[in-house]
Structure 1
Amino acid sequence: MNTQNTSEQLASYRKTIDNLDSALLHILAERFRCTEQVGNLKAEQAMPATDSERERRQMDRLRNIANELGLDQQFVDSLMKLIVGTVVKRHKEIAAQR
């Protein structure tokens, strides 16, 4: 493969990666919009910010999906712990504002 073809292929891969990164951020934003609604409902109903059983079931489900997709389970665990931690923090903030 010559340098021109390599550069073009690399640019094509990078454009795809950039598009996927944008899609990931849009999906995360939508997820956080939904969890904001959950936080408001929990606060209205004086429910706790965390649901350990739900989190456990969700992590088990996501680990299975990660395994099916060939994704590193430690990475998925770390990512989801970060996301869930952010959501729980926000739910606590919402509850404290009421």
Structure 2
Amino acid sequence: MSNQEAETSIHDQAGAGDPEVANRAREVEELRAGVDNIDAAVIHMLTERFRVTRQISHLKAEAGFAPADPGRESEQVERLRSLAQDGGLDPDLAEAYLHLVADAAKRIHSRVAGGEV
């Protein structure tokens, strides 16, 4: 069985004749519903994060501050890596997240400073 077949067969297995397999498939579906809820919450949190980021962008532009703040970013990398480590999450994942959102924020800052937003 290929990985693709194993990945797509969970839903089908929920009604399988083998009760143990059907039980496990239902458990996976329930857990996936939880993951879906978490993903939705993350998107809502990112929406709020970037609402605040746009406010910061306007303040930076008005004051003539640079879009990027390397010192702040370095502090945040260390802070999020530590939080991840404490929570049992891969610190590299936390750092990748920060770079993703920081890069997006810098693009917003640059557009606001350039009068585009």
TM (normalized to structure 2)?
0.79
User: 1:56 deviation in Å?
Assistant: 1.1
Partner of 2:97: 79
Q: Which ranges in structure 2 are unaligned for 5 or more consecutive residues?
A: 1-18
Equivalent position amino acid for 2:112 in 1: I
The C-alpha deviation readout for 1:24-66, integer Å capped at 9, x for no partner, is 1000110000011000100111111111111111111111101
Residues 81 and 92 of structure 2 are in contact (CA less than 8 Å); yes or no, is this contact kept in structure 1?
no
Q: Give the 3-state SS of the residue equivalent to 1:2 in structure 2.
A: helix
Which runs of 4 or more aligned residues in structure 1 lie more than 4 Å from their structure 2 counterparts after TM superposition?
none
RMSD: 1.3
- 1:59 to 2:77 alignment: yes
Larger Rg: 2
Kindly indicate whether residue 34 of structure 2 is the aligned counterpart of residue 16 of structure 1: yes
Matched, 1:33 2:51: yes
Q: Hey, what's the Cα distance between the residues in 1 that align with 2:96 and 2:76? A: 14
| CA–CA separation in structure 2 for the residues paired with 1:7 and 1:50 | 47
Count of equivalent residues: 98
Cα deviation, residue 7, structure 1: 2.3
Q: Which amino acid aligns with 2:53?
A: T
Question: TM-score, with normalisation over the residues of structure 1?
Answer: 0.93
**Percentage identity across aligned positions?**
33
Q: Structure 2: how far apart are the matches of 1:71 and 1:7?
A: 26
Of the candidates 48, 51, 67, which is equivalent to residue 66 of structure 2? 48
- Name the amino acid aligned to 1:11: E
CA deviation profile, 1:57-78 (whole Å, cap 9, x unmatched) = 1111111101101111111111
